[in-house]
Amino acid sequence: MNRKPIFAANWKMNKGPSQTEDFVKSFLSKLQGQDFPCEIVIAPPFVSLAKLADLLHSATAGQNAHAIQIAAQNCSEHDSGAYTGEVSVLMLREFFTHYVILGHSERRSIYGETDAVINAKMKKALETNLKPIFCIGETLAEREGGKLESVLRTQVTEGLKDLTEKDLAETVIAYEPVWAIGTGVTATSQQAQDAHAFVRSLVAELYGADTASRIRIQYGGSVKPNNAAELMACPDIDGALIGGAALEPQSFLEIIRNGTGE
């Protein structure tokens, strides 16, 4: 199965509009003339979505720049109303947002998002043609306690509950072991490959072999220019979700270059 790799920058709570502008101008100038065989996605904070959309729109209108897709880092499970501080999927669509990161471990652990809430957000996003980047992953204690597979099974089963095969065709999964996020400790390529193969087998159990062979599963957790090639060479790893190393245009670009072998 030929799955197009997807490299996504999750900026987390970094870069307001002016820093977004600096990044995008520099990144586009470095990208110029290069056409990588992958999708490139940037997920800025909500307040920078408009700036990102404007910059990318004028760039692609002016020249044949590599298309960059826009992602949000979260969305509400509700349509509108009295939810102070929340942002709806329809609002996100106004900024040409294609993807939304859901179930990130920081949303789960810091903001208490449960599998049920994440599932409701998945459904809401898919209703509006916003493609979820659905994050899962175990803590170190869970891995060391022999619970890796049961944790992933629960997250996948509950997070994807009641979704259809068609929904899964629009979904990207990101396997991000919590102990590798922002720590500089990357999963070995064998650990990552084993977890990805297991997640793919879960999708096969729930949705059949065809859906499982098509779905893209990104790896996230301390991906850097110097480990991207080895991770991306694994048969079940289809791209990366990158935090710290995607804050600099040069290192994001090097991850893409090394990860695609270009």
Residues in contact with ligand 13P by the rule CB under 6 A: 10, 104, 176, 181-182, 220-223, 241-245
Cβ atoms within 10 Å of 71's Cβ, excluding its own: 26
Shortest Cβ 146–ligand 13P spacing (Å): 24
* Contact (Cβ atoms closer than 8 angstroms) between residue 122 and residue 93: no
98 as an active site residue: the answer is no
Residue 223: CB minimum distance to ligand 13P, A: 5
Choice between 39 and 211, CB closer to ligand 13P: 39
Instruction: Evaluate the CA torsion angle 43, 88, 108, 135 in order and state its sign.
Output: negative
Residue closest to 195 by CA, chosen among 133, 256, 147: 147
Closer of 10 and 211 to ligand 13P (Cβ): 10
Indicate which residue of 39, 66, 104, 142 is catalytic. Answer: 104
> Any idea of the CA torsion for 34, 5, 218, 17, to the nearest 10 degrees?
40
Taking the CB of residue 55, how many other CB atoms lie within 10 A of it? 20
Find, among 45, 53, 126, 127, the residue nearest to 87 by Cα.
45
Minimum distance of ligand 13P from residue 14's CB (angstroms): 10
* 48 vs 211 by CB, closer to ligand 13P: 48
Concerning whether 78 is annotated as a catalytic residue, the answer is no
Looking at the Cβ atoms of 130 and 181, the one nearer to ligand 13P is 181
Query: Least separation, in Å, of the C-beta of 6 and ligand 13P?
Result: 13
Let me know: does 25 contact 55? Beta carbons within 8 Å: yes
Residue nearest to ligand 13P (CB): 243
Which residue of the set 66, 138, 176, 196 is catalytic?
A: 176
Residues forming the active site = 104, 176
